[in-house]
Structure 1
Amino acid sequence: MCDDAQAILQHVAPEVEYTKLDVRSSTELYHLYGARIPVLKRQDTEQELGWPFGEQQLREFLS
């Protein structure tokens, strides 16, 4: 996750737990997400939020 995205996530929702995956380690993941990385994906809804995103977009995504 880039520093900018991580800073926004920590500011908006410091309590949110997340797992980082290196999409470059998998050809399939890289082709799926490469142009949008970093990408946040909710486990409960399967929704995805790709970069770039701002604080308001992240709040809406998490609500």
Structure 2
Amino acid sequence: MHKLIFYTKENCPLCDDAKVLLDLLRPEYPFEMEERDIYTKDDWLEKYQLMIPVVQINDIMLDCEQITYDSLETALKKSN
């Protein structure tokens, strides 16, 4: 099973959209998802505040400008 980290924050429409895409992909590409609110750790806030949402699947990182259904599906396939 894939291990996915989803960097997010509250009141973030782009994060909500990304989560919908992940939920659509989950039945075909099962994964365990850890959600991380960037405001709970200074390192995450500093690193990701301008890139949110960020999805990390193994060594693949997708930021807000890269997250699409196709890019997420490709990353999940590659991480097999």
Q: Give TM-score, length-normalised by structure 2.
A: 0.65
Q: Shift of the alpha carbon at 1:46?
A: 2.2
Of 52, 55, 58 in structure 1, the residue corresponding to residue 69 of structure 2 is 55
Structure 1: gaps (5+ residues): none
Structure 2: gaps (5+ residues): 1-7, 9-14
Mapped to 1, the partners of 2:46 and 2:19 lie a distance apart of: 22
- Write the letter of the residue equivalent to 2:32: E
Q: How does 1:21-60 map to 2 (within 5 A)?
A: 21-42=36-57, 45-52=58-65, 53-60=67-74
Q: Which has the higher strand share?
A: 2
CA RMSD for the aligned pairs?
1.5
- The one of the two structures with greater contact order (alpha-carbon pairs below 8 A, sep at least 6) is 2
Q: How does 1:4-19 map to 2 (within 5 A)?
A: 4-14=17-27, 15-19=30-34
Q: Give TM-score, length-normalised by structure 1.
A: 0.80
Q: Shift of the alpha carbon at 1:3?
A: 1.4
Q: Which has the higher helix share?
A: 1
- Write the letter of the residue equivalent to 1:32: K
Mapped to 1, the partners of 2:64 and 2:26 lie a distance apart of: 17
Query: How many percent identity over aligned positions?
Result: 25
